[in-house]
């Protein structure tokens, strides 16, 4: 992606009443002037004013606004044309723009990449733009907005500042070795380094919340036929999605649906009941059920109180549970049929008693789910900043350099100490894009949609 061309794209999602075509770059104004005409002329004197006019011939009504650099989203000259919604109307406007000279179609994420290159956003903030677009839960959106606002960048920059000061303190001992300068005791430097390391560690610890909120959690509903898996899927979704019947073996294929439970984006998979079956299709379904279980983070294992020995059955499941699954929640279903809910607690496994049919205790199941996801570290949805996988790798690489840095400080090897600190600084700096390779930019921004 070069950053010289003037680019244009539809900036709004299809299906709305209005569409915006955004043009950015040195030629934005003259391109817009060629396709749009109104009583007033787009230019310096009408900057940031919404003007009414027409596009094309005989002319469709469209609003236009000119935002001169650097006061625009990209930091370049930008014109936005607001035209009628609808695929044909917006195509016509975009074509009118793209048939002009000196302008081409924008690549995915190219507007935001320019905003980054022009210093409007740092890299962590630019990534947050992608997170905002992809957010499916309120908590995910809030996290993305905090990151866009600079919450993560601020923390990262504080850490960088601490490391930078430490590095220059080490270096000044090299520059003035014999002079009578007042230097901090090495122990004080080590304490300061430890402070920086703890802030770094906090960010590393936030990666779990970051992954939960960005990627969501995969839940599989498993258990014997007729345990009530499909009934529970429907209850959790609040819609009648899966077939429920009293015939064991109703569900064959796996059925996955996205939802948000307690602010956590989830994919819930309903599966075929687990049993030995001679039926070829059912057996295939059971294989799929087992594959879904292996790919999930949390299993809701449904138990029918009337089964022969459900506890034994659960024990067996737990024994063979694939290692990647964080947790099984045992769900006694159909408590509406059992007097006084006299069902045994199951040691070592979280147990909840519900009725998928009446909805009784579903909230308790969601409580247990929420606790499993956040693993006791409070409500991860509230973390001020939560890093993504790219940030995590950089933070870990930086942290690796800190122990040797402390070691060198305590030995008075100032040169080596500062070298280690500077290596850590480079890694942390990459989070906000202080140093960054073009390939990485392409990789990050190509995941965006066109027009962002």
Q: Which residue ranges make up the site for Mg ion (CB under 5 A)?
A: 229-230, 250-251
In this structure, the number of other CB atoms found within 10 A of the CB of residue 211 comes to: 18
Among 378, 391, 389, CA closest to 429 = 391
Name the minimum Å distance from CB 373 to ligand GTP: 23
* Distance, CA of 346 to CA of 108 (rounded, Å): 51
Between 250 and 327, CB nearer to Mg ion: 250
Listed ranges 92-100, 171-179, 246-254, 317-325: which one lies at the site for ligand GTP (CB under 6 A):
246-254
Name which of Mg ion, ligand GTP, none residue 246 binds, using a CB cut-off of 5 to 8 Å depending on partner kind: ligand GTP
Between 301 and 374, CB nearer to Mg ion: 301
Name the minimum Å distance from CB 357 to Mg ion: 13
Listed ranges 60-68, 228-236, 370-378, 418-426: which one lies at the site for ligand GTP (CB under 6 A):
228-236
Q: Where are the alpha helices (DSSP H) in 176-246?
A: 186-205, 207-215, 229-237
Residue 435 contacts residue 6 (beta carbons within 8 Å): no
Q: Which residue is nearest to ligand GTP (CB)?
A: 273
Between 150 and 285, CB nearer to Mg ion: 285
* Distance, CA of 435 to CA of 369 (rounded, Å): 40
Name which of Mg ion, ligand GTP, none residue 227 binds, using a CB cut-off of 5 to 8 Å depending on partner kind: ligand GTP
Name which of ligand GTP, Mg ion, none residue 94 binds, using a CB cut-off of 5 to 8 Å depending on partner kind: none
The DSSP symbol for 444 reads H
Sign of CA dihedral 95, 100, 105, 109: negative
Interaction pattern, residues 336-355, with ligand GTP; x per rule: CB under 6 A:
xx-----------------x
- CA distances (Å), 138 to each of 21, 141, 260, 367, in order? 28, 5, 9, 18
Listed ranges 40-48, 91-99, 208-216, 223-231: which one lies at the site for ligand GTP (CB under 6 A):
223-231
| Residues facing residue 23 across a β-bridge | 8, 79
* Distance, CA of 155 to CA of 120 (rounded, Å): 18
Name which of Mg ion, ligand GTP, none residue 231 binds, using a CB cut-off of 5 to 8 Å depending on partner kind: ligand GTP
Name the minimum Å distance from CB 243 to Mg ion: 7
| Residues facing residue 62 across a β-bridge | 53
Name the minimum Å distance from CB 405 to Mg ion: 57
Place of tokens 């059925």: 255
Quick check: 287 binds ligand GTP (CB under 6 A)?
A: no
- Count of H helices and E strands in the chain? 15, 13
Q: Where are the alpha helices (DSSP H) in 52-150?
A: 87-98, 110-117, 123-134, 138-148
Quick check: 250 binds ligand GTP (CB under 6 A)?
A: yes
Between 69 and 250, CB nearer to Mg ion: 250
Between 202 and 357, CB nearer to ligand GTP: 357
Tell me, by CB under 6 A, how many residues bind ligand GTP. 23
DSSP of 134-145, one letter per residue? H--SHHHHHHHH
The contact set with ligand GTP (CB under 6 A) reads 225-231, 244-246, 248-251, 272-273, 333-334, 336-337, 355-357
């Amino acid at each position: 992606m070069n950053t010289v061309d003037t680019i244009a794209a539809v900036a709004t999602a299809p299906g709305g009443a209005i569409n915006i075509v955004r043009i950015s770059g040195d030629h934005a104004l003259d391109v817009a002037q060629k396709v749009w005409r109104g009583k007033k002329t787009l230019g310096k004197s009408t900057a940031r004013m919404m003007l009414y006019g027409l596009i094309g011939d005989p002319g469709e009504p469209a609003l236009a606004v000119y935002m001169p650099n650097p006061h625009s989203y990209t930091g370049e000259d930008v014109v936005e044309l607001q035209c009628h919604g609808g695929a044909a109307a917006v195509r016509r406007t975009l074509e009118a723009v793209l048939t002009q000279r000196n302008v081409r179609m924008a690549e995915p994420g190219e507007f935001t990449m320019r905003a980054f290159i022009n210093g409007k956003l740092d890299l962590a903030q630019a990534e947050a733009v992608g997170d905002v677009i992809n957010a499916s839960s309120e908590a995910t959106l809030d996290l993305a907005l905090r990151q866009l606002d600079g919450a993560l960048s601020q923390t990262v920059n504080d850490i960088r500042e601490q490391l930078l000061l430490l590095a220059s303190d080490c270096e000044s001992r090299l520059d003035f070795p014999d002079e009578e300068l007042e230097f901090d005791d090495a122990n004080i430097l080590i304490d300061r380094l430890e402070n920086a390391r703890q802030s770094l560690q906090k960010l590393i610890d936030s990666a779990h919340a970051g992954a939960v909120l960005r990627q969501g959690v995969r839940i599989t509903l498993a258990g014997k036929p007729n345990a009530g898996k499909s009934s529970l899927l429907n209850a959790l979704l609040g819609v009648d999605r899966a077939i429920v019947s009293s015939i064991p073996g109703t569900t064959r294929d796996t059925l996955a649906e996205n939802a948000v439970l307690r602010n956590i984006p989830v994919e819930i998979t309903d599966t075929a009941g687990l049993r030995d079956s001679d039926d070829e299709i059912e057996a295939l379904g059971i294989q799929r059920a087992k594959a879904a279980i292996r790919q999930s983070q949390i299993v809701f294992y449904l138990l029918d109180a009337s089964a022969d020995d459900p506890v034994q059955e659960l024990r067996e499941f737990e024994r063979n549970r694939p290692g990647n699954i964080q947790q099984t929640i045992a769900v006694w279903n159909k408590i509406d049929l059992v007097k006084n809910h006299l069902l045994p607690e199951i040691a070592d496994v979280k147990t909840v008693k519900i009725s998928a049919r009446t909805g009784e205790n579903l909230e308790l199941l969601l409580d247990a789910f929420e606790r499993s996801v956040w693993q006791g570290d409070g409500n991860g949805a509230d973390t001020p900043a939560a890093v993504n996988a790219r940030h995590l790798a950089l933070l870990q690489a930086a942290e690796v350099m800190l122990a040797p840095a402390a070691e060198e400080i305590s030995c008075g090897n100032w040169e080596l100490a500062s070298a280690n600190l500077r290596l850590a600084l480079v890694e942390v700096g990459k989070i906000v894009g202080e140093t960054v390779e073009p390939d990485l930019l392409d990789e990050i921004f190509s995941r965006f949609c066109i027009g962002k």
